[in-house]
Chain A
Amino acid sequence: EAGVTQFPSHSVIEKGQTVTLRCDPISGHDNLYWYRRVMGKEIKFLLHFVKESKQDESGMPNNRFLAERTGGTYSTLKVQPAELEDSGVYFCASSQVNPSGYTFGSGTRLTVV
């Protein structure tokens, strides 16, 4: 079974630019989550999709972040315009109903300079 795939693995962009992160969940997993780890801090929740619907987006830091999951398959997370404090590792995870079945992707390391 293929795992959760994230692309790109690394991205270095300048402040003010736009970056789009992609996550392909495990096939059949309706739940898709985005998390972020900023250096020195704990991993924090950003948002949760159930199929194509946003179930909970309470963790999204501000309106520069836009997540989509058209068709309920892969998801994108766009940051526009990027700021220095957006640097960190962005993890995607997917699961079936039971939260203990989370599988994380290997993350996208975003550096804003």
Chain B
Amino acid sequence: RKEVEQDPGPFNVPEGATVAFNCTYSNSASQSFFWYRQDCRKEPKLLMSVYSSGNEDGRFTAQLNRASQYISLLIRDSKLSDSATYLCVVNQAGTALIFGKGTTLSVSS
């Protein structure tokens, strides 16, 4: 079983749509959770950390369910510029980041 699993997609949505990505992780000792964004042939960039109480940053909302070991990312009012690969990332204290393979989003006009 992969440590971090994501639906690879692609998710093809029109501008203005709401889209949700899910992620599950296998290690219950994981302590920190993140969503990274990676554009084609670019480096991963931190989109947002994910907190137990859930958190929002503009059009982006992240949720964490520790009991189910499940993380989600909701994007509202999708923009063309949101097209990218979204990486679910976890880690334990003092250890390296563990990446999922990513979910590809394509937003079209």
Are A42 and B46 in touch, CB under 8 angstroms?
no
Known: A99-B32, A100-B32. A59 touches B43 (CB 8 A): no
List the count of A-B residue pairs having beta carbons below 8 Å apart. Answer: 42
**Interface status of A56 (Cβ within 8 A of chain B):** yes
Q: How far is the CB of A1 from chain B (nearest CB, A)?
A: 15
Chain A, interface residues (CB within 8 Å), range? 10 to 19
Nearest B residue (CB) for A3? B43
Q: How far is the CA of A91 from the CA of B89 in the complex (A)?
A: 15
Of the listed stretches B63-71, B72-80, B90-98, name the one at the interface; the rest are far from the partner chain: B90-98
Q: Which residues of A contact B42 (CB under 8 A)?
A: 106
**Interface status of B22 (Cβ within 8 A of chain A):** no
Q: How far is the CA of A109 from the CA of B41 in the complex (A)?
A: 9
On A, residues with C-beta under 8 Å from B are 33, 35, 41-45, 48, 56, 59, 91, 99-100, 102, 104-107, 109
Q: How far is the CA of A45 from the CA of B92 in the complex (A)?
A: 13
Q: How far is the CB of A15 from chain B (nearest CB, A)?
A: 24
Are A42 and B102 in touch, CB under 8 angstroms?
yes
Since A56-B95, A100-B46 are in contact, a sample of 9 more A-B pairs with Cβ atoms closer than 8 Å, ordered by chain A residue number, is A35-B99, A42-B2, A42-B100, A43-B99, A45-B96, A56-B96, A100-B49, A102-B46, A106-B42
On B, residues with C-beta under 8 Å from A are 2, 4, 32, 34, 41-46, 49, 87, 91, 95-102
Nearest B residue (CB) for A56? B96
| Complex A-B: 28 CB contacts under 8 Å | A33-B96, A35-B96, A35-B99, A42-B2, A42-B4, A42-B99, A42-B100, A42-B101, A42-B102, A43-B44, A43-B87, A44-B99, A45-B98, A56-B96, A59-B96, A91-B43, A99-B91, A99-B97, A100-B32, A100-B49, A102-B46, A102-B97, A104-B43, A104-B44, A104-B45, A106-B42, A106-B43, A107-B43
Known: A91-B43, A100-B34, A105-B43. A41 touches B101 (CB 8 A): yes
